[in-house]
Structure 1
């Protein structure tokens, strides 16, 4: 089952990534990271991919986090996947639990939560 959350921040993308990476559990689950600066106005984008095994579902789930300021504000998108169990793809809360530490680390900088599933 896929879970998704998107929110706007009051810090730059690379600052947001530094805050996320302060969480030792997330840092240990990191399997991919990429950072780019583009254009004359130095727009930033970061892509982070985390992987974690959830005993409650017996699956390894992934969490993909993108952080960019291409539209003038910093947008964070978190997508968890692979955390469902069985034919009905029930995740028993594992998906939301996976991106909870990201949200908690950035909580004081969140301006708006634009979408959550």
Structure 2
């Protein structure tokens, strides 16, 4: 369910809201966080989170990419890693992990 959208928040506030939603409301943990600045202005933040879902029987990852290259804060989320063996069926767990971010940012979506 990867999608991109804009929010009415600055990049730092958005990043903090995402981090708080993922680590406070569920047992997600931050694996890595990377920031880069563009010479012409703007920043990009990539954060990778992980969570174990019992119903998927696996660990899931959630990658959140934030940027303000257009002067507005854009959000893009990608979740995955669910399923067992060759099967990618995860009982909706990866979508549920991603929805934590979408719900936290819903009041700020444009």
1:8-54 Cα offsets, whole Å, 9 max, x none, are 1122222200111222146851111122333253x021110001111
In structure 2, runs of 5+ residues without a counterpart are none
Within 5 A, what are the aligned runs for 1:90-105?
90-105=89-104
Normalised TM-score (structure 1): 0.80
Query: What residue in structure 2 maps to residue 114 of structure 1?
Result: none
RMSD: 1.9
Query: What residue in structure 2 maps to residue 75 of structure 1?
Result: 74
Detail structure 1 runs of 4+ shifted over 3 Å in the superposition.
Answer: 25-28, 85-88
Deviates more, 1:96-105 or 1:79-88: 79-88
Greater fraction strand: 1
Query: What residue in structure 1 maps to residue 39 of structure 2?
Result: 39
Deviates more, 1:27-36 or 1:5-14: 27-36
Query: What residue in structure 2 maps to residue 15 of structure 1?
Result: 13
In structure 1, runs of 5+ residues without a counterpart are 112-117
Between 1 and 2, higher relative CO (CA 8 Å, sep ≥ 6) is seen in 1
Normalised TM-score (structure 2): 0.84
**Number of aligned residue pairs:** 108
